[in-house]
Structure 1
């Protein structure tokens, strides 16, 4: 049940990421700034709940598992990706409003690529490596 909620979060996150990463040029970032800002705001809420659930509860509990592979994978994920919440918060604060995006479209595109790629990597690794272990 708990894992299904986290998987639902992933689906919602992916949909919001599509809007945020839809702008490929500075001109597109400026013209789509309102939509991007709304998606980023909704994503920030979902991410804060999701990452807190994983970083504060899922990973620590799985790190105590009797199954060595689950324990090792959870510990590795936490060490490699546990900082993502702070990274995302910095990104969100830099580009939360349309004005901030419009004032620095090049920075927005660069940071979006860096931060969102890291977030997508985490989601995909959880979907492909961690969650299947827990479901077994």
Structure 2
């Protein structure tokens, strides 16, 4: 199975997280417009990635002949449900410039938690899940 598209989307997501981190460190209120724009852009990429995984990757693994990969895919899909809902709520809340300017510390706190979870998930997929798929 060719998973290059998924890997490229991971690069885009990780770049978006790094950009949000840079702006947050430089000042949430001062960079609220850039942060809101980046949150929206990252959200589009994350949603597209999740949709393609759900429509193509996971079903392919379930229909494939490898029970280990099917089980791994199912576990990753189930795990992502909670992460996805947290991220979507985060992106809705923080794609608004006024909210960022009014609640900079709340953004920092939530971004640290939600983006760290997303980052760690991408790293796990890159080091465990995708190599297992490519090896099959």
**TM above 0.5:** yes
State the match for 2:72 in structure 1.
Answer: 73
Q: What is the distance in 2 between the residues matched to 1:119 and 1:53?
A: 17
Question: Residue 5 of structure 1: CA displacement?
Answer: 0.7
DSSP 3-state at the match of 2:64:
coil
State the match for 2:9 in structure 1.
Answer: 9
DSSP 3-state at the match of 2:63:
coil
Q: Any gaps of 5 or more consecutive residues in structure 2? A: none
Q: Deviations over 1:103-126 (max 9, x none)?
A: 111110111111111111111111
Q: What is the distance in 2 between the residues matched to 1:61 and 1:29?
A: 41
DSSP 3-state at the match of 1:66:
coil
Aligned: 1:35 with 2:54:
no
* Number of residue pairs aligned between Structure 1 and Structure 2: 134
DSSP 3-state at the match of 1:31:
coil
State the match for 1:132 in structure 2.
Answer: 131
Aligned: 1:100 with 2:99:
yes
Q: What is the distance in 2 between the residues matched to 1:55 and 1:82?
A: 11
Q: Over the residues paired in the alignment, what is the CA RMSD in angstroms?
A: 1.7
Question: Residue 42 of structure 1: CA displacement?
Answer: 0.9
TM-score for both structures, normalised by structure 1: 0.88
Distance 1:36 1:2, change over 3 A: farther
- Larger deviation, residues 38-47 vs 53-62: 53-62
DSSP 3-state at the match of 1:63:
helix
Aligned: 1:51 with 2:40:
no
Q: What is the distance in 1 between the residues matched to 2:42 and 2:127?
A: 22
Question: Residue 92 of structure 1: CA displacement?
Answer: 0.8
DSSP 3-state at the match of 1:29:
coil
The 8 Å contact of residues 37 and 98 in structure 1, kept in 2 or not, is answered as yes
